Amino acid sequence: MLKWIAAAIACALATLPSAASAAEIFGGIYKHDVNSPLVKSGGIESGLDLQIGWRGDRIGRSPLQPYVMGMLNTAGGTSFAAAGLSAKFGGRLYLRPALGIAVHTGSSGKFEDPFDDEIEFGSRLLFAPEVAIGVQLSPRISAEASLIHLSHAQLAGRQNPGMDNVGVRVNVALP
């Protein structure tokens, strides 16, 4: 039933007039705390993350766009909010790197090995670099697969477990 509702909403939104370089809203679903070579903590926390966000118009003639977004973990693990800049390179198929600063609800304690049931990030503020690959589905609708990494880049100490979330989202340009 949920699939049919989402499909109906997507079809309705696709018929709206397009806006060149307009601000957009986005939302997605992500696998929380995946194992990857970028982190030491992969798989400690579980669940899915629900994402919602806003991305502004391009800044001048640059490809840069400001954004804000939040990710809520469905299993009570680390949730976070981030703000930063993204850029879009390409046409129908595109690449979207981003860099933001995030504040999270998880532990800001020092990293311990072995892990218990939570990730000790070592800092309340973290970097939130991201890379997405997308496809423009209509003038106002695009879909992306992305990897979001959370880490303090060893600025808050040598111990830096990090966390990676991988998922998909839909972007809708505002009129």
Residue 4: strand, helix, or coil: helix
Place of tokens 């600025």: 155
How far does Cα 140 stand from its chain's mean position? Answer: 20
Q: What CA–CA distance (Å, rounded) separates 56 from 85? A: 9
CA dihedral sign of residues 54, 80, 5, 3: positive
CA-based nearest residue to 104, from 156, 65, 146: 156
Q: Which domains does the chain have, with CATH numbers?
A: 2-173 (2.40.160.20)
Tokens of 106: 């998880």
Token code pair at residue 137: 């589905």
* The one-letter amino acid at 142: S
Residue pair 34/44 in contact by the 8 Å Cβ criterion = no
Rounded to 5 degrees, φ, ψ at 49 are -110, 135
pLDDT tens digits in sequence order for the chain, 175 residues long: 344 444 444 444 444 444 445 799 999 999 988 877 666 666 678 899 999 999 999 999 999 999 999 999 999 989 999 999 999 999 999 999 999 999 999 887 776 555 566 777 778 999 999 999 999 999 999 999 999 998 887 766 666 677 899 999 999 999 8
